[in-house]
Amino acid sequence: MKATVLALTLLCTGVALAEGPPADNTSREARHLEDLATLLDLTNAQKAQVQTILEEEHAKMKQSFEQAKAAGTKPDWQQMKALHQQIQQETLQKLAPVLSASQLKKFQILSSQRHGRFGHGPPPGADSAPPAPQS
């Protein structure tokens, strides 16, 4: 299992470094989908369905932040984490009938690596306590 995760990580890193920075978000998203299709060994039908589901996830996140911005509020880190987890769970539920069990497991691993910042606590300075002095 660890070897598989390591191999997937190295493959993603190698692909990202080989292709250089994307020209814009559209090409970044297209490249991400191509990487997913390769890593998960998606069929053309699966690829189309996964693309639709991921676009819905992205639109939902964007809509949530735009609504907060329009209301003049800024969600704190905990709210952002909760929203991200909720939308991610919905996405996994939508992907479950599309992907095989092994593909879904790989997707979860890749997703957790890509969005790891949501699982390791708030970013520095997100809480009101000052940083501890270094000795």
At 67 the pLDDT is 84
Whether the CB-CB separation of 54 and 107 falls below 8 Å is answered with no
At 119 the pLDDT is 47
Q: What are the residue ranges spanned by the domains of the chain? A: 2-116
At 37 the pLDDT is 93
Cα–Cα distance list, 109 to 2, 22, 49, 76, 118 (Å) = 11, 23, 19, 26, 14
Q: For residue 95, count CB atoms less than 10 angstroms from its CB and return exposed for 0-12, middle for 13-18, buried for 19 or more.
A: buried
- Whether the full predicted model's pTM is greater than 0.75, yes or no, is no
At 83 the pLDDT is 86
Alpha helices (H) along the chain: 2-19, 25-40, 44-70, 77-95, 101-114
Give pLDDT tens digits along the chain (135 positions): 555 554 555 455 554 444 444 455 668 888 989 999 999 999 999 999 999 999 999 999 888 888 888 888 777 788 888 888 899 999 999 999 999 999 999 999 988 887 654 444 555 554 444 455 555
